Structure 1
Amino acid sequence: MSSEPTLQQIAESVTRSVLNANDKDLEGFQKIIDESIKVRESHRNLQKLVKNYSNSMIQRS
């Protein structure tokens, strides 16, 4: 089972302050979300690289 929240859980947890934020605040928040997605994708890619490297080292020994 995945421990990642569902889109519905994320939407339900959005606070009133975000809903009432001005455009500048929302743009800043969007940048944070975008960078967070990049970090998550990079982390997944790093995990794959480490796994592939580990598997290749096991096969060589």
Structure 2
Amino acid sequence: MYHPTEGGVYQSPAGVRGAFAGEIATRLHYRSLSHLSKQFKAVTGYSPSEYRKLQIMNRLPLDQVS
């Protein structure tokens, strides 16, 4: 599940960043990947795979990291 933070922004629990959706579903005790995917899309507006692609596209190249 996603936990609200200040300002109403949702954040995933520690230890799931970078994990595959199936691993996350298991770690968070979802009965199915489908349920996690539907809930994720309801909260973020993106499917887990769409969200992952956006994160990859928005990364800075190493030479631009301070």
TM-score of the superposed pair, with normalisation by structure 2: 0.34
Greater per-residue strand proportion: 2
Greater per-residue helix proportion: 1
TM-score of the superposed pair, with normalisation by structure 1: 0.36
Greater relative contact order (CA < 8 Å, ≥ 6 in sequence): 2
